[in-house]
Amino acid sequence: MITSLDQDKKIFLLGLSIAQLEEFATHYGEPSFRGRQLHDWLYKKGVKTLDEITVLPKSLRIDLKQKGVCVGRLKEVRRSLSRDGTIKLLLQTFDGENIEAVGIPTSNRLTICISSQIGCPMQCEFCATGKGGLQRSLEVNEIVDQILSVRAALNRAPSNVVFMGMGEPLLNVEAVLDSINCLNKDLKIGQRRITVSTVGVVNTLPQLAELALERLGSVQFTLALSLHAPTQELRETLIPSAKAYPLHSLLADCRHYLEVTGRRVSFEYILLGKLNDHIEHAEQLADLVGGFQSHVNLIAYNPIEDVDFKRPATNRIRAFKSVLERRGVAVSLRASRGLDQDAACGQLRRQHQIMND
């Protein structure tokens, strides 16, 4: 139950439940109420070090640190704030790697976009994260920290969480599900306000519903499939892994997820100027998801350096959306945020790497 990164020989408290923290306390010869105190200071107060937990005796804090116990918070390396209030944090892990988390505030909600891996192995052509490859998957404490860091930076409680940052969540599925459990039970964020975005991973997506039921007890979070193309041929040019995962198999697995969980699937579709934003593509997309209990979320592309893809014209975005609406497809257009501060996934990390090379 008590997790650690072997290379650091540290024991991280962040990510542990109240029952696990009580067990931790008794393991170290302390009464169980110490675990409840730890839980309160970790999740409500958001402390970063054991020294900040002044409710614990100083001798106990010293002893725990000597045994390699730490909170498990990350170091903020850099932040950027857009004119629209969107904040992007670059956070450093214990082994010196960097990850991104984004806070997107509106008048009545705060959505936090978080990463599940350091880098990404999927190599999607339009994604800044994939350009640097994969370093490793994140631990539970590193995922949960992103929520606490953005919460502290904006001094505001999060309402929604989306796993749409760096990495492919289904390649780190156990840590992602354990993180969802922590966000739900320890930070009191409802599962229905949590979204997991994936491009689809062979032999992983089909078992997601059963694994989620096993780990969480119930599955209420939203599964968002990054589709980005209405045909297999076009999808393969954008997402290399699609070659091994034909659209018909991918959609069949989505239907299985829906049958097991009762939760509709959301299809993410990044509109790339004059590439996948033609009227015929909208018609093909309507054919593909027609009759499927789903929702299509259109996203206008955020340009990144060294990539030739363009942001689509406003009239093309409207025309594409109009076709889907006429065909009876549930569709929404995600508002672009943070454009003046390079809000696309992986951009802040890439800039930091270039500056420090």
Catalytic residue among 70, 120, 127, 345: 345
pLDDT-based confidence at residue 1 (cuts at 50, 70, 90): very low
Q: Specify the pLDDT at position 337.
A: 66
Q: Tell me which CATH homologous superfamily contains domain 75-356.
A: Aldolase class I (3.20.20.70)
| Cβ neighbours for 35, distance < 8 A, ≥ 6 positions apart | 18, 19, 20, 21, 22, 23, 24, 25, 26
The pTM score is 0.91
- Annotated catalytic residue: which of 22, 30, 70, 100? 100
Grade residue 4 by pLDDT with cuts at 50, 70 and 90: very low
Q: Where in the chain is the domain with CATH 1.10.150.530?
A: 4-70
Q: What is the average per-residue pLDDT within 92-106?
A: 96
User: Distance (Å, rounded) from C-alpha 352 to C-alpha 84?
Assistant: 22
Q: What span, in angstroms and rounded, lies between the C-alpha atoms of 138 and 149?
A: 16
- Residue 336 confidence (pLDDT) above 90: no
- 3-state class (DSSP) for residue 332: strand
pLDDT of residue 347: 55
Residue-wise pLDDT for 181-194, tens only, equals: 999 999 999 999 99
Best CATH choice for the domain 4-70 from the list 1.10.150.530, 3.40.50.300, 3.90.1150.10, 1.10.357.10: 1.10.150.530
Residue 76 falls in the annotated catalytic set: no
Q: What pairs with residue 104 in β-bridges?
A: 111
Residue 4 or residue 104, greater confidence? 104
Is 345 one of the annotated active-site residues of the chain? yes
**Better-scored residue on pLDDT, 338 or 47:** 47
223-268, pLDDT tens digit by residue? 999 999 999 999 999 999 999 999 999 999 999 999 999 999 999 9
Phi and psi angles of residue 318, each rounded to the nearest 5 degrees, phi first: -65, -40
- Rounded CA separation 35/146 (Å): 22
Domain with CATH 3.20.20.70 in the chain: 75-356
pLDDT, one tens digit per residue, over 291-313 is 888 999 999 998 877 678 999 99
Say whether pLDDT at 353 is over 80. Answer: no
Residue 303's pLDDT is 84
Q: What is the pLDDT of residue 123?
A: 87
Cα–Cα separations (whole angstroms), residue 37 to 30, 33, 42, 80, 190: 12, 6, 9, 34, 23
Alpha-carbon Rg for the chain, nearest whole angstrom, is 21
